[in-house]
Structure 1
Amino acid sequence: MDPTGSTAPHHPEVFPAGWTRRRHPIHREAGPDWDTTVRGILRERMLDLCEAPRLWFDAAAEDRHPVARSVRKLSELLGAEEEFTALAALYAPEESILDVLLELLADEQVPQAAPLRYKPSGLNKRRRWEELWEAQRHTDSSSTTEDRRERGGLDEAVPVPPRFTSADFFKSSYWKQRGKFDIPNERFTSFPSSVAPLPPSTLIGWAGWDARARAQVVLDLLEADAHAHAQRPESALPLLRALAEVLPWVRAGHALDPASPLDDDEALSHAYEHHITRLGLSTEDVSSWRPPAPKRGRPRKDG
């Protein structure tokens, strides 16, 4: 009798080559349970629906004008869509559409303004990377295609800044989205004014916008709050900082695509300068702006 207790004959067709008979079952590492797997699928599909371009462009505009949405407004729009509401009911049966959306977006958005993304160490690294990019843009604009091909990359005269770490970011989710080279991988951008948990009033944008669209959105937000900013000029600094950071990429986009409208790009820069002058601020005020220290506790839901 087989010492394992089996009465099965020792035939190749019963135990194919490479198989080993064991007295005890093979223990395999446990994977995610079924509920976790299903929730992950539901989450990804709902996030895909949140990225629908129709949510991020004004349907009434003829030129596909980009538009930011508050989390609350986004929940109203998605709450009118049958597929999203059905998925949300499966994902969190006891939660409202707004609560589901707040959970979904919390780790999928990254603020547009750098001081709301990085701690001081990260801001310092970001500044050094921006200096490198500016030097590279200057080199590219003053050299021929053949020169750039022969050089084959970054200007060796400019030292490469250090890589980012998780300790450089205010939130671990920002680090997960950006990584050590701070490469945007998030689905959404946001326009908050402080480092705090995501409240319903936070304005969200689509990461699928190009630099020109992002700049236009920020200008629209500045115009919409022009009266409030006139009363408290410092309240415009988070948006002005976001605009200042995106304008170099607008100009870089024109350099890569000379067919793009240069007048529009210049108009964006002039609008930025106009808002600074109108509010009695300076470019130094914008570049030196830092958010107030984060407050502890959960955000209010009546915003």
Structure 2
Amino acid sequence: MSQGKGGSGLGRGVQDEVWEERYEFTGTKLQDFPLSVTMPLAVACERDSLAQRLFELEPSAMAGRAIATRHGLAGASDAQGRTRSRMIALQEELDWTVYGAYGLLTPKEVAQTTLPGDPADLSDADVPQLQLGQRAFEIALKRKVDAGDAETAWFERHGSTDTAVAELPADWPEAYQKVVQARLDIIESNADIRLLERPEYKRRWSIELWEKREAAALRAWLLEAAEREDLWFEERDEYTSPRTLTVFQLADALRHDENVQAVAALYAANHLDNREASLATVLKHVIESEHVPYLAALRYKESGLRKRDEWESVWEQQREEDRTGERLDIKVPPKYSGADFLKHSYWSNRGKLDVPKERFISYPGASPDSDPSLLLGWAAWNHRDQGEALVNLINDRASIDGWELEDPRFVPLLASLREVMPWVRQWYAPTTRSGVTIPRGSSRPR
């Protein structure tokens, strides 16, 4: 009754093994699923507690509670590995306990395939910490692969080629070895259990490598630090005004923050393989996929620009509806695809409806002449801030950097100002009602 959703998809390629299929399990279908009379709640509760502990040890959670250190992250990695191994072992006990609870095993087989007592009370001395590739069905599968009777990507896909075993490990407790051997015998002899003890019906425990998760957590922490609101506004002519920063300027603004320096050094040492990397180098690396250019012509290929024209036409028609109150026949604009963007990171941040999800606005070619690093703005600016930042940029390049008015570098800045101004007028231009002018939008403290 639960239909397959397909194993293939973006980033996963073609998948042809049964265990790669994804299924839809909805509450409506599951509410009719029969429950056994006996419920092994104690082991389920312990697994829930372990799952919460597992989350607390995630690099992202660690970085959210305190400033990350190499010692702290290494300890968390070890603790998470032990916690996960305990969870894998308890899940195996839970699976085989449930087989007995549903009557798929005789009382004698239940006694042979489960350890005495409540699984939740079993210590590491009773149940070893299991690694992927060491569960009964995996041992049976490994034996078939070694004998040439099966081919599978199961072990490689789950990173368990080094931990998978075809024989029971000698360091397992003797009682546990007997239980697992009994499970292997029943998988061989019992068709019902053999049907269930297959990769497609077992928990995969698939997870990204710790190194990738740690890098993502440190990167996210640095990006949050670089997005602090106070960095992106300044006092200009007695007004609080949005300010753009080059990567070098951003690094200079953060260089006195010891926590930023410590996390950047940790990221550089472990994920850039460069202990001597400067803060600016680290920021350039982490920001690389988090910015999208300010001007449409710098974001899209020709196909994307054509779609952008259609979207702009729709927006103008919607504004006309707002002005006149007359309903127009507005056609739905086309969706974007990855092929419409100049860089994959732009597509990742915008998606098919071109909704901004990036952290930073980039201004390629608009940096000061003395600073070659990329110029950035804050993506949390509203349209009025974006327009004001562009005006400030144009004024600064003319008055401070000495750009001549005929300098072609002004063209994209002016073009972007033309793109943003309809939104500024839409959201922030004053409206008139009954002869009274009403300001629109909110103003920042001056």
> TM-score, length-normalised on structure 1?
0.71
1: CA distance, partners of 2:341 / 2:380: 22
2:294 corresponds in structure 1 to 112
1:207 corresponds in structure 2 to 379
Q: Which runs of 5+ in 2 are unaligned?
A: 1-106, 121-136, 138-179, 188-196, 270-274, 432-437
Query: Aligned-pair distance for 1:66?
Result: 0.8
Query: Aligned-pair distance for 1:229?
Result: 3.9
2:304 corresponds in structure 1 to 122
2:426 corresponds in structure 1 to 252
Query: Aligned-pair distance for 1:10?
Result: 7.4
Query: Aligned-pair distance for 1:122?
Result: 0.4
Counterpart of 1:91 (choices 267, 288, 304) is 267
Conserved 8 A contact 2:429-2:439? no
2:214 corresponds in structure 1 to 38
2: CA distance, partners of 1:99 / 1:9: 56
Counterpart of 2:331 (choices 135, 147, 159) is 159
Q: Which runs of 5+ in 1 are unaligned?
A: 265-303
Distance of aligned partners of 1:34 and 1:158 in 2 relative to their CA distance in 1, 3 Å threshold: same
Q: Which amino acid aligns with 2:253?
A: L
Matched, 1:81 2:257: yes
2: CA distance, partners of 1:229 / 1:200: 16
Distance of aligned partners of 1:249 and 1:41 in 2 relative to their CA distance in 1, 3 Å threshold: same
Distance of aligned partners of 1:78 and 1:9 in 2 relative to their CA distance in 1, 3 Å threshold: closer
1: CA distance, partners of 2:385 / 2:114: 71
- 1:67-117, Cα deviation, whole Å (9 max, x unpaired): 000111111111221111111111112221111111111110111111000
Counterpart of 1:239 (choices 403, 410, 413) is 413
Conserved 8 A contact 2:384-2:428? no
2: CA distance, partners of 1:124 / 1:47: 33
The number of aligned residues is 244
Give the superposed CA RMSD: 3.2
Counterpart of 2:231 (choices 46, 49, 55) is 55
Query: Aligned-pair distance for 1:136?
Result: 0.4
Counterpart of 1:68 (choices 244, 255, 262) is 244
Query: Aligned-pair distance for 1:252?
Result: 0.9
Q: Which amino acid aligns with 1:260?
A: R
Secondary structure (helix, strand or coil) at the match of 1:110 reads strand
Conserved 8 A contact 1:193-1:238? no
2: CA distance, partners of 1:246 / 1:120: 20
1:134 corresponds in structure 2 to 316
Q: Sequence identity, in percent?
A: 36
2: CA distance, partners of 1:75 / 1:110: 19
Conserved 8 A contact 1:71-1:200? no
1:225 corresponds in structure 2 to 397
1: CA distance, partners of 2:221 / 2:331: 42
Distance of aligned partners of 1:200 and 1:102 in 2 relative to their CA distance in 1, 3 Å threshold: farther
Q: Which structure's relative contact order is higher, taking Cα pairs within 8 Å and 6+ residues apart?
A: 1
Q: Which amino acid aligns with 1:71?
A: V
